[in-house]
Amino acid sequence: MPPSRSPELEVLFRICAAAHRAYRLANGSPHRADVVGMGADGSPTEELDRAAESQILDSVRSEGFAWNVISEEIGLLDRGSEKTLVVDPIDGTHNALRRIPSATISLALGSGSLAGIDLGVVHDLMTGVTYWAERGGGAFRDGRPIRTRPWEARSELVFLNLGRHATARTVGWVPRSRRVRSLGCASLEMSLVAQGSGDAYLFENAPEERNLRVTDIAAAYRILLEAGGGVADARFLPIDDLPLALEQHTSVTAWGDARWMEQARSEAPR
C-alpha cells in the first residue's frame, strides 16, 4: 500500500513538477546562464535560477497558501504565516549550468528553525527521482521507503565538499575514507546518505560565510533524520536551532549510522 501523504506534501510535489517544467524550458534557452540580477544572499542570479524560482512563487500563490517563503534569490517573503516554505530553486546551479548531472529542487516546510521543519522534498532535476519525508512518517524515494546503511569500518563511502575554500579538516577526511565522492549538491548528497548510497556527507569552508545556508539543507535534513541518520556541524555540534533565515551559515556533518558518527567524532581531523 502506498504511504499516505498530507495535503501540504501533495502541494510541494505539484510545485516541484511545475518548477521542473520551467527549468526544462529555461535550460533550452541560449540565455540560461545570463546573470539577471543579484540574489538576497549577494551572489549572482542566473536566468536558470530565476525561472525555477519564479515558477515556485507562482505555484505557491495559485495553490492558495499564504506561507512565508525564503529563497536564496528573493530572500524572505514575509506573509505573516506561522509556516515558512524554504526554497532552493536549483541546488547545484554550477552543475546545472555546466550540464553536470547533480542538481535538485529543494523544498521544505516548517517554522522557526531546522528542528521545526516538518516536510522535505528533494527532486533530482537530472533523473526525475524525488526524495521526501514527513515528520514521524519515514523517508521515501519515489514512494519506496529508504533507510540509511549500517556502517562497516574501512569500507565507507563519504561525500565531501572539496575546492579552494574547503578547510583542512574536510580535506583530512580523504585519506581516512575508503571511497570519496564530491558532487557539488548538498541536498542530493544528503539524500544519497539517507537512501544508503553513502555513509556521510561533510561540508566545511573558510571563511564562515562560504558555508551552507538553511535553504541548502532544510529538506534533506528532514529526509535524513526520518531515514535514521543525523546532522550536526563540522565539530559535531547540533545545528537544529539554525533559524529559517539567510543571515547565518553552517558547516555540516551528516551521517547514516550513529556508530560512524561516534568513531568519526573521536578521530576527527583537527
Domains and CATH numbers, the chain: 7-146 (3.30.540.10), 157-267 (3.40.190.80)
**Separation of first and last alpha carbons in the chain:** 48
Task: Indicate if the pLDDT at residue 45 is higher than 90.
Answer: no
* Each residue's pLDDT tens digit, 81-127: 999 999 999 999 999 999 999 999 999 999 999 999 999 999 999 99
Lateral strand order in the sheet of 230-232: 179-181, 157-160, 200-203, 252-255, 230-232
- The answer to whether the CB of 99 falls within 8 A of the CB of 32 is no
Helices (H) and strands (E) in the chain, counts: 7, 15
Whole-model pTM?
0.94
5: confidence class by pLDDT, cuts 50, 70, 90: confident
Please name the residues in contact with 31: beta carbons below 8 A apart, sequence gap of 6 or more. 47
Number of Cβ within a 10 Å radius of residue 5: 16
Distance CA 156, CA 29 (A): 41
- Average pLDDT of 164-181? 94
| H or E stretch at 76 | strand 75-77
- Average pLDDT of 13-21? 96
Distance CA 123, CA 36 (A): 24
Average pLDDT, the chain: 92
